[in-house]
Amino acid sequence: MPVAYTPAEIAAIVGAQRTLGHTEAKVGDIASLAAAQPGDLSFLGNAKYRSQVPASRASVLLLPPDYPGEPGPDQVFLFVDHPSVALARLCSRIEQQLWPKPPPGIHPSAVVAATARIDPTASVGPLCVVEDAATIGPGTVLDASVCVGRGARLGEGCWVMPGCLVGSYCELGRRVRLQPGVIIGSDGFGYEFVQGRHEKVPQIGIVVIGDDVEIGANSTLDRARFSRTVVGEGTKIDNLVQVAHNVVIGRHCILCAQVGISGSTTVEDYVILGGQTGVGGHITIGKGSKAGGQTGISADVPPGSYLNGTPAIPYMLERRLQILHQRLPDLFKRVEALERRAE
């Protein structure tokens, strides 16, 4: 962490009620109670780690008001109502320092079409390309080497990180955050098999991303065959996720890394899919459903389901079947014994 704070600065940022102890150290990193070294800040976010506080080597500790112990030499206790909330406040401050918002305007090395509409408060980074009639909203930031296709529309307050593509005619809402290398609007994967060859089906739809969506590094979202591929407001997508054409993802979903969703499937609001889960095409995953890692879903899922396994079945049943599966050697022996007896 290339920034450092005195304990007094941290006390001010987190609004500490009370301070105990003294250190000359400036805090340059954050670590768990057990891992912290001198020069680090740590925190008691969960009461079950309370016994780790006395042995922690952290220079500064965020603690709840009722914590009874005493700091070591060269150590400072800062008492706050909610250490986790206090830490988040500190981290936000650090984040702003580490990633200061670039000044508005278009970097001279960017290639921006004359017909593009860039809000004067937006920032277009070095070596970006913005094509004809694209729109970049107020306060939106394009980091280095971002491509925005013809007619694409980015709303207010978006942050598009290096190497992303927002394909032609695709739309981002407000405060959308694209991690590096995201591809929005690659062609859907559609072919017709004609006389021994796969003939391409034109993919002329778009991708529409709702407000407050975040998408992880190198994930890919295909444009619709026609109409829209949709990601609903507040949904968060991790790295290396594949979203096929005409998929409709609801609001406030969580898609963990390397999930793949096949074409024309609907994922309703508040769904959570574990890492490497695969979802077949033309199905619906009901509201609030969850799937564990590596689940394979190929049929409709009712709302509120909790699934695991391939094919996906209820999580508790899957766990029970796994246990029975591992007892198969015993079962075979028992059946053999019964057969011997029956002879």
Is 22 noted as a catalytic residue in this protein?
no
Largest interatomic CA distance in the chain? 90
User: Is residue 4 close enough to count as binding a copy of itself by CB under 8 A?
Assistant: no
- 59: contact with a copy of itself by CB under 8 A: no
Q: How far is CA 329 from CA 34, 273, 326, 333, in A?
A: 43, 33, 7, 6
The four Cα atoms 44, 46, 49, 52 give a dihedral, to 10 degrees, of 0
Nearer to a copy of itself, 122 or 243 (CB): 243
In the complex, least distance from residue 293 CB atom to a copy of itself, rounded to whole angstroms: 5
Site for a copy of itself in 160-189 (CB under 8 A): 161-163, 165, 167-169, 177, 179-181, 183, 186-187, 189
* Burial class, 281, CB count within 10 angstroms (exposed 0-12 / middle 13-18 / buried 19+): middle
Report the distance separating Cα 67 and Cα 21, nearest Å.
14
Nearer to a copy of itself, 50 or 236 (CB): 236
Question: Which of the residues 290 through 309 are near a copy of itself (CB under 8 A)?
Answer: 293-294, 296, 298
Taking the C-alpha atoms of residue 87 and residue 31, their distance in angstroms, rounded to an integer, is 11
Residue 216 contacts a copy of itself per CB under 8 A: yes
Q: Which of residues 240-269 bind a copy of itself (CB under 8 A)?
A: 240, 242, 244, 252, 254, 256-258, 260, 262
What is the footprint of a copy of itself within residues 319-338 (CB under 8 A)? 320-322, 324-329, 331-332, 334-335, 338
SS (H, E, C) 131-191: CCCCEECCCCEECCCCEECCCCEECCCCEECCCCEECCCCEECCCCEECCCCEEEECCCCE
Distance separating alpha carbons of residues 90 and 43, to the nearest angstrom: 12
280 binds a copy of itself (CB under 8 A): yes
Measured distance CA(320)–CA(219) in Å, rounded: 34
Q: Interface with a copy of itself by CB under 8 A: which range of 19-27, 55-63, 134-142, 214-222?
A: 214-222
Q: Which of 202, 282, 299, 302 binds a copy of itself (CB under 8 A)?
A: 202
CB of 70 to a copy of itself, least distance (A): 26
CA distances from 135 to 13, 57, 156, 161 (A): 37, 51, 10, 17
In the bound complex, what is the minimum distance in angstroms from residue 145's beta carbon to a copy of itself? 6
Site for a copy of itself in 76-105 (CB under 8 A): 88, 91-92, 94-95, 98-99
198 binds a copy of itself (CB under 8 A): yes
Q: Which of 121, 303, 313, 315 binds a copy of itself (CB under 8 A)?
A: 313
Residue 217 near a copy of itself by CB under 8 A: yes
- Distance, in Å, from the CA atom of 152 to the CA atom of 118, rounded to the nearest integer, reads 12
**Does position 236 bind a copy of itself by CB under 8 A?**
yes
Active site residues: 245
